[in-house]
Amino acid sequence: MVSNPVKILLLSFHFPPDAPIAATRAPKFAKYLLESGHDVRVLCANDPQAHVAHALDIDEARIIRTNWRDLGALPGEVLDRVAPSRKDTPSSTPEAVTASSSPRRPSLRSKLSGFYDSAICRPDRRAGWRPFAVEAARALFETWAPDLVYATCPPHSVAPIAREVAAIANAPFIVEFRDRWALDAYSNHPEWRQKLDRRQEAATLADAAGIVTVSPLWAETYETRYGAERVAIAMNGFDPSDYPMEMDVAPALGKDQIELLFAGALYPGRRDPRTVFEAIALLGDDAKRVQVTMLGKDLSPAIALAKEAGIEECLKILPPEPHPEIVKRQYAADTLLMLQWNDARDAGTVPGKLFECIGARRPIIATGWTSGVVGRMILRRNLGVIANEPRIIANKLSALLSEKRAHGRIAPLPEKVRDGLTRREQFAKLDPFLARAAGQPATRIAAE
């Protein structure tokens, strides 16, 4: 427990149960803060998902949920008149998508939509949450005032909203970057828009009491831009209540097969399973003993890549599932896939999925920048293999097939791979940072 509790207003656009599967950090952080003795309120948006991915771990009475306006949806009717969308055309169906097909010329609709998104939706289409969030904050401050406002991003529109809310409360604010804003390597915006993002980020952070990031490499960048004393690192982690040391689940497949499990999103040409599929194809007759199970939305690029590699029978596509069900699948899988971008610009990316793999103690097969943060963690902790050459991955798959045939299951990773990587251990690194930002002594007493 902290010796000097802080009243913290946590701004998070997504919060359970209105949260996609990837939005795990904010609710776990709120839970940690409350368990540490802080007084926490959460301000979030009503954004119902297709299914409930996460259970609510804190008292609903501490949560203020508001409406919001999707700025990206506003020009839809105009675009429908000016440039109707081309639906039901053969080239738009998943079956027609192939990795080798030449790119089509952007339609007038996509050009107009892209320009609108770059010019108006700044920092993003959730900027329409601002008036609702500010109004809700003003109402809250009539009976409760924070010592500190904490914004977790993305969406990055939460950051300038937090700045405004903090000014109303006359309180300092911290911005947390789970993904980068102005320096996002995945940005598809034109350079003029990226320049505007850099200016808006700098203006927002100029008033921030602190910046939190989930990557040591990203922290170095923020320290250079905004000062080392204002930056803290707390990586993602796993919650032992979700990921016990052991889980009594049987392997998903019998001893003559192995399952590679992936749950998440694809970014064709950047984060995709091409290399893994090519590796499976190299196994020859053993390829039929490998099943790749992928859960998520918009996975049609994987279907196209599997067909291109000639291993489409090895691929199983499933819709998204609630997080507890995915956890069970992770324990039952023989190996877990991490698909990162093989580019130096992705070196600092440390997805929360990595810590879920570690929590489940399943071997990892990863692609991506091998000398980045993820690559170094995989190698130093002996978590599996990270490679971008199909032959290296094929050799790992052959070894797993031999182990499965000999023992009936793939052995879990050693317990020590989890050392220091629980969410509590990572969040605890922020305790003195939060206290200092709130103007309180950075002291802590031992837990009971």
Kindly list the domain boundaries of the chain, sorted by start residue: 7-68+123-237+422-437, 71-120, 258-418
Inter-residue contact 338 to 261 (CB < 8 Å): no
User: Looking at 214-223, 386-395, 437-446, which range is the least confident one?
Assistant: 437-446
Assigned fold of 7-68+123-237+422-437:
Rossmann fold (3.40.50)
Residue 111 has pLDDT above 60, yes or no: yes
* Cα–Cα distances in angstroms (integers) from residue 309 to residues 101, 127, 210, 283, in the given order: 14, 42, 47, 12
Confidence of residue 105 (pLDDT cuts 50, 70, 90): low
324 is written with which tokens? 């507890």
Any idea which residue has 């605890």 for tokens? 428
**Residue 119 pLDDT more than 50?**
yes
CA distance 220 to 172: 23
DSSP state of 444: B
Superfamily classification of domain 258-418: Glycogen Phosphorylase B; (3.40.50.2000)
Closest among 167, 138, 141, 171 to 6, alpha carbons compared = 171
pLDDT in tens, 248-303: 999 999 999 999 999 989 999 899 999 999 999 999 999 999 999 999 988 999 99
What pLDDT, on a 0 to 100 scale, did the predictor assign at position 84?
Answer: 55
Question: pLDDT per residue over 33-69, tens digit each?
Answer: 999 999 999 999 998 776 777 878 899 999 999 999 9
Quickly list DSSP for 218-272.
Answer: HHHHHHHHH-GGGEEE----B-TTTS-S------SS-TT-EEEEEES--BTTTB-
Higher-scoring residue by pLDDT: 81, 190: 190
- How does residue 406 score in pLDDT terms, banded at 50, 70 and 90? very high
Is 299 in contact with 264 (CB distance < 8 Å)? Answer: no
Residue 26 in contact with residue 10, Cβ under 8 Å? yes
Percentage of the chain modeled with pLDDT above 90: 75
Instruction: Check residue 89 and give its pLDDT.
Output: 37
What is the overall mean pLDDT for the chain? 89
Residue 59's CB is within 10 A of a number of other CB atoms, namely 9
Residue 312 predicted with pLDDT over 70: yes
Please name which of 69, 71, 39, 66 lies closest in space to residue 138, comparing C-alpha atoms: 66
The two tokens of residue 426 are 């990572």
Locate 50 and state its tokens: 């297709």
Q: Where are the alpha helices (DSSP H) in 310-389?
A: 323-332, 352-360, 373-380
> Distance between CA atoms of 245 and 239, rounded to whole angstroms?
11
Distances (CA, A) of 116 to 17, 184, 429: 31, 20, 41
Mean pLDDT of 79-106: 44
Task: State both tokens at 48.
Answer: 């119902």
